[in-house]
């Protein structure tokens, strides 16, 4: 089987020749490791008066941003191919330099959804960004933001469509790009408002929250259609519905606010003949049956540091969901020994791969995931993942 056949066979809960392995490579730190390139310390450049102004101007250019962002993910897919993965996710994001209320240019970005992202670097100078601030904490603020950014919402969809198409054209003969429409409806709803303000408004101003969810749902459906125009056959969507100890919000409240939106998402993807996989971090056992009810085909992450046990998940959902992920990125794929990586891969395959419906991957991505350990993971999967899967 080739990589595409292997992935699609697993997605159909059938046994391919071996367990597929999916990469979650996206961080420049991993790309520079694998491809042997030097990092560009963007934050350091921004601190230089003359050069910093030029870099900020470039970052605010739609054309430059798209070229830079495509280059990184093209490198991610090339890296995943070199390491032996069958697939790798591809996530589009569009940001602009955040000037703040004082209009001072700093080392921060804002996205079209009303979030501020702080730029930083890892110890090798690679760029990283982290969500840090909500820009629309009130109904008036959110309405004003959406009105001001209306043209940019359309631009983001055009950019994301082109981004995925170029990646498929450039890399689709070597690896399976997985289209990732992110962030999702829940995160887009609350992160621009702020979690505390959002949860208060759910009760104090439910009609406003209803408008926000409707707006984000309609945008997300358009976004998904753009991603699928590239021809990707597996589509990821995602919202972090959980934290380390359990759901971020009561599952029945998530159902009330977002259940119908998620059903619309799954129905749209299925109308194109594609598969929909949902990403969520955190301890999400209470959502598993709802994922099935909403029509999702699979889930990805199953974060082991949030007590997500792969065997328990498989026992709970059977083959109603394809399972992807579960290899730890807090220790195992950062500084684990080869023996530890091998043992974790063998256990994951034993716990979830019989009958198909399991795709091995890391639980997530961050700058300190080590490329050598990713290679060990792939090699172990090739060794231990041949079907039929025998008991250890």
**DSSP helix/strand/coil, 281:** coil
Neighbours of 219 (CB within 10 A): 19
Between CA 153 and CA 161, with CA 155 as vertex, the angle to 5 degrees is 110
Count: domains in the chain: 1
CA distance linking residue 162 with residue 284, whole number of Å: 33
Query: What is the model's pLDDT at position 39?
Result: 73
CA distance linking residue 224 with residue 272, whole number of Å: 11
Q: Which CATH number goes with the domain that contains 268?
A: 3.20.20.210
Instruction: Give domain status of residue 51, yes or no.
Output: no
- The pairing of strands 87-91 and 176-181 is parallel
CA distance linking residue 213 with residue 42, whole number of Å: 35
Say how many CA atoms lie within 13 Å of 307 toward its Cβ: 10
DSSP secondary-structure letter at 182? Answer: -
Q: pTM for the whole thing?
A: 0.95
Dihedral sign, Cα of residue 247, residue 253, residue 256, residue 257: negative
Neighbours of 260 (CB within 10 A): 13
pLDDT tens for residues 149-203?
A: 999 999 999 999 999 999 999 999 999 999 998 889 999 999 999 999 999 999 9
* Cα distances (angstroms) measured from residue 218 to each of 184, 214, 258: 11, 6, 12
Instruction: Give domain status of residue 193, yes or no.
Output: yes
Query: What is the model's pLDDT at position 106?
Result: 62
- The pairing of strands 115-121 and 108-111 is antiparallel
Query: What is the model's pLDDT at position 103?
Result: 47
CA distance linking residue 230 with residue 15, whole number of Å: 27
Neighbours of 246 (CB within 10 A): 16
Low-confidence ranges of the chain (pLDDT < 70): 101-106, 392
Instruction: Give domain status of residue 66, yes or no.
Output: no
DSSP secondary-structure letter at 318? Answer: T
Instruction: Give domain status of residue 122, yes or no.
Output: no
Query: What is the model's pLDDT at position 27?
Result: 92
Instruction: Give domain status of residue 52, yes or no.
Output: no
Query: What is the model's pLDDT at position 105?
Result: 52
CA distance linking residue 104 with residue 247, whole number of Å: 38
Instruction: Give domain status of residue 42, yes or no.
Output: no
Angle between helices 371-384 and 338-352 (to 10 degrees): 50
Expressed in angstroms, the distance from the first to the final Cα of the chain is: 25
CA distance linking residue 225 with residue 89, whole number of Å: 17
Q: Which domain range does residue 255 map to?
A: 3-27+80-94+136-384
CA distance linking residue 135 with residue 115, whole number of Å: 6
Are the beta carbons of 387 and 352 closer than 8 angstroms? no
Q: Could you give the maximum distance between any two Cα atoms of the chain, in Å?
A: 63
Instruction: Give domain status of residue 107, yes or no.
Output: no
CA distance linking residue 46 with residue 386, whole number of Å: 49
Query: What is the model's pLDDT at position 124?
Result: 79
CA distance linking residue 164 with residue 274, whole number of Å: 15
Query: What is the model's pLDDT at position 392?
Result: 67
Say how many CA atoms lie within 13 Å of 121 toward its Cβ: 13
Instruction: Give domain status of residue 370, yes or no.
Output: yes
At 366, list the tokens.
């961050």
Query: What is the model's pLDDT at position 47?
Result: 77
């Amino acid at each position: 089987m080739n990589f595409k056949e292997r992935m699609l066979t697993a997605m159909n809960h059938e046994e391919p020749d071996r367990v597929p392995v999916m990469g979650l490579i996206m961080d420049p730190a991993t790309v520079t490791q694998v491809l042997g390139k030097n990092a560009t310390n963007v934050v350091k450049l921004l601190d230089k008066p003359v050069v910093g102004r030029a870099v900020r101007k470039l970052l605010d250019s739609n054309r430059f941003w798209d070229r830079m962002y495509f280059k990184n993910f093209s490198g991610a897919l090339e890296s995943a191919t070199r390491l032996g993965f069958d697939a790798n996710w591809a996530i589009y994001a569009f940001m602009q330099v955040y000037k703040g209320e004082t209009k001072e240019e700093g080392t921060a970005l804002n996205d079209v959804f009303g979030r501020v992202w702080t730029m930083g670097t890892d110890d090798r100078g690679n760029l990283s960004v982290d969500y840090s601030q909500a820009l629309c904490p009130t109904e008036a603020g959110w309405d004003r933001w959406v009105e001001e950014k209306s043209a940019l919402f359309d631009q983001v969809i055009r950019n994301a469509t082109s981004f995925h198409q170029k990646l498929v054209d450039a890399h689709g003969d070597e690896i399976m790009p997985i289209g990732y429409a992110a962030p999702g409806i829940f995160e887009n709803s609350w992160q621009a408002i702020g979690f505390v303000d959002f949860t208060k408004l759910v009760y104090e101003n439910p009609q406003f929250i209803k408008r926000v969810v409707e707006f984000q749902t309609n945008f997300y459906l358009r976004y998904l259609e753009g991603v699928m125009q590239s021809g990707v056959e597996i589509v990821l969507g995602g919202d972090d519905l959980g934290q380390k100890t359990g759901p971020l919000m009561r599952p029945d409240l998530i159902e009330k606010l977002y259940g119908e939106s998620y059903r619309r998402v799954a129905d749209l993807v299925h109308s194109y003949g594609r598969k929909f996989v949902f990403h969520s971090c955190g301890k999400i056992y209470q959502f598993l049956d709802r994922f099935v009810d909403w029509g999702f085909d699979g889930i990805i992450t199953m974060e082991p540091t949030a007590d997500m046990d792969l065997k328990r998940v498989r026992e709970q959902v059977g083959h109603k969901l394809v399972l992807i992920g579960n290899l730890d990125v807090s220790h195992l794929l950062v500084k684990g020994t080869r023996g530890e990586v091998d043992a974790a891969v063998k256990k994951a395959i034993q716990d979830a791969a019989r009958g198909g419906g399991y795709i091995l991957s890391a639980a997530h991505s961050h700058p300190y995931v080590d490329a050598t350990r990713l290679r060990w993971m792939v090699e172990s999967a090739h060794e231990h993942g041949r079907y039929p899967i025998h008991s250890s």
